[in-house]
Amino acid sequence: MQAKGTIRSPIAALLVAGLFLFGCAGTAPPASDGTPRALSVLTYTTPGDATVLLPTLTVDTASSFVTDFIYDGLAVYDDQLNPHPALAESWEVEDDRIYTFKIRRGVTFHDGAPLTAHDVRFTFLTIAHPDYQGARFGDFTAIRGWAELAEAYAAADAAVAAGQLTEEEGRRRKLEAYAHFVETGGLQVPDDYTFRVEAAYPFAPLFTRLTGYGIMPRHLLEPYMSDLLHSPYATAPVGTGAMRLVSWTKNERIVLERNPDWRWSLTGQPAQIDRVIIQIVPDQEAAVTALARGETDVADVPPEMADRFRAEVPEVNLYHYTTFAYTFLGYNLNRPTYGDLRVRRAITHALDREAMVAELLGGYGQVAHSHASPARWDYNPDVPALAYDPDQAARLLEEAGWLPGPDGLRYKDGQPFVMRLAVNEESLLRRQAARFIQEALEPLGIRVEIQRMAWDDFLAHIRSDAKETYLLGWSLGFDPDPHSIFHSQGGFHAITGCADPEIDRLIEAGRSTTDRARRKQIYGELQAALAERQVYTWLFAQDTVVGVNQRVKGVRHGSPRGLFWNWEEWTVDPVR
């Protein structure tokens, strides 16, 4: 028998653990007669803060979530990923390689300046610039002249490295190549409201990439082309979007307010919410507490808590859906231990991933076997899977020279097998997955040392060669092209050290045809090749579980775009 007052569930425990107040609404501006005006305010709690609020520089989901409110692309995508006019009121495609966009007239940036096709062109020119600081340069090599620009940049770098040019001379060479591209390349503005892109060859992902980036203001950013990352607009953005920035208190909150001039949603109506407050709460248990107490409107709920939460907090609706996301155990393939395929396959065999889905996700998900999502059209359900098989794991380790020692650890060349596993401390799920991996590998003779890091430190670590292994997830885009992740020339996102000619060949084949059936076949082969090589140990594709207070109306869930795909239609009971 339980004593009176005993906490009976994790939800109840969170509710009595402490009071988490986040200042959900604040005071509304007074009406003309001096009385307070009710605001419609949506508060969203998330574990990670944004890093930069310029669309061509964002590389993390926290930043992209915010920029999607502030900026518009040329098109907007519906719940089935079909494009509709946004900043472009129409478009035409000729010969699968010439794209002509008619830019919507009468659109202004948040500072009142008019949007023109020159802003659209400028946005993509920032990516082509030699001082570009982001990860997207390789996404546009199909544009006429872009590949030659990349070659010119590489030649200048090689000449500097060989001592044939000074740093200043090398930079001058790059700027000359850039100026030539600006004048003669495939980004063209025939008039103030026409933007034309000419590709050198058919390139399937190009339309999605051209229409998906938020358009940035040339008149504000052009003076900062040499260092956009540190420009004032990287943290004080000016877009054309449905919301404009009010304030950003780092690691605490971001406040956005409605742009009354915005009209190009899927419904053609302005956003219904006056203000969006994004609360940064790294402790996921604190976020769930806030949701249960009604102190935030929207927050993720750990899947293993979902069923209990639904039963005990009826005033919050829970939505779960399959997204384009998966979680994986990543390796630094440049290190001899993890460059050995036998070791990677052994680690995968040692993990009972079905148990991970059951225990860590509460059944809200499925085991992942390669770079794909069952929610996306390119998914190959027949990828060969590595089953849970500790005996096979042990055999593979012995083949690789890792032999049991007297202390229970495995040794090779006199060194114990110690696996340093980095994880961002803000993610409860990844911390739990790290402990699961630690406990699973210990009987095999591998000691796992978990390295918990704050998000910014974690990102810096996994982008360096100091990393060994790490837990991370990808939220995949609408188009399946994975060049930036797995191609040997992928750049910023290619953090594994993967350099495989067959992988490169399949990636290049998949992006060079526009025939969807052919692309599906190619990407199915690519998924099988990645699984065969165990570039990662794929863990699981988790369903996202989101709690939404019942005072939020108009939520339409079930889209692979996620819960917020139609947020402009939401209404929230006003607060005073």
pLDDT digits (tens, 9 = 90+) for 427-448: 889 999 999 999 999 999 999 9
Give the tens place of pLDDT for each residue, 132-151: 999 889 889 999 999 999 99
The position carrying tokens 């980004």 is: 187
Q: Which pair of structure tokens corresponds to residue 274?
A: 């006056």
Residue 70's pLDDT is: 98
Taking a C-beta distance cutoff of 8 angstroms, is the pair 76, 266 a contact? Answer: yes
What DSSP line would sit under 510-560, residue for residue?
A: HHS---HHHHHHHHHHHHHHHHHHTSEEEEEEEEEEEEEETTEE------T
What DSSP line would sit under 227-261, residue for residue?
A: GGGGSGGGTS---SSSEEEEEEETTTEEEEEE-TT
Higher pLDDT, 333 or 39: 333
Give the tens place of pLDDT for each residue, 241-286: 999 999 999 999 999 999 999 988 888 889 999 999 999 998 888 9
- Structural domains for the chain: 69-230 (3.90.76.10), 325-543 (3.10.105.10)
Cα–Cα distance, 322 to 320 (Å, whole number): 7
Q: Which pair of structure tokens corresponds to residue 448?
A: 């796992």
Percent of the chain predicted with pLDDT > 70: 92
Give the tens place of pLDDT for each residue, 61-112: 899 999 999 999 999 999 888 999 999 999 999 999 999 999 999 999 999 9
Give the tens place of pLDDT for each residue, 1-23: 333 332 234 444 443 333 223 33
* Mean per-residue pLDDT, 114-126: 99
Higher pLDDT, 426 or 221: 221
CA–CA distances in Å: residue 112 to residues 66, 273, 275: 21, 21, 20
Taking a C-beta distance cutoff of 8 angstroms, is the pair 185, 146 a contact? Answer: yes
Higher pLDDT, 60 or 38: 60
- Return mean pLDDT, the chain: 91
What DSSP line would sit under 433-462, residue for residue?
A: HHHHHHHHHGGGT-EEEEEEE-HHHHHHHH
Residue 492's pLDDT is: 55
Taking a C-beta distance cutoff of 8 angstroms, is the pair 547, 294 a contact? Answer: no
**Nearest residue to 256 via CA among 20, 39, 32:** 39
Residue 29's pLDDT is: 45
CB burial of 123-143 (b: ≥16 within 10 Å; e: otherwise) equals: bbbbbbbbebbbbbbbbbbbb
Cα–Cα distance, 328 to 475 (Å, whole number): 11
36: pLDDT confidence band, cut at 50, 70 and 90?
A: low
37: pLDDT confidence band, cut at 50, 70 and 90?
A: low
Taking a C-beta distance cutoff of 8 angstroms, is the pair 144, 125 a contact? Answer: no
Position 389, amino acid: D
Residue 460's pLDDT is: 92
Taking a C-beta distance cutoff of 8 angstroms, is the pair 109, 115 a contact? Answer: yes
CA–CA distances in Å: residue 461 to residues 76, 386, 423, 482: 35, 29, 10, 22
Tell me the range of 308-317, 345-354, 481-490 where mean pLDDT is highest. 345-354
Position 516, amino acid: R
Residue 40's pLDDT is: 92
SS3 397: helix
407 burial level (CB within 10 Å; 0-12, 13-18, 19+) = exposed
The number of helices, as runs of H, and strands, as runs of E, in the chain is 18, 23
Cβ count within 10 A of residue 550: 12
**Nearest residue to 353 via CA among 386, 306, 324:** 386
Taking a C-beta distance cutoff of 8 angstroms, is the pair 424, 348 a contact? Answer: no
Cα–Cα distance, 290 to 22 (Å, whole number): 8
Cα–Cα distance, 15 to 271 (Å, whole number): 33
Taking a C-beta distance cutoff of 8 angstroms, is the pair 472, 328 a contact? Answer: yes
pLDDT surpassing 50 at residue 344:
yes
418-424 and 469-475 beta bridge pairing? parallel
Residue 4's pLDDT is: 30
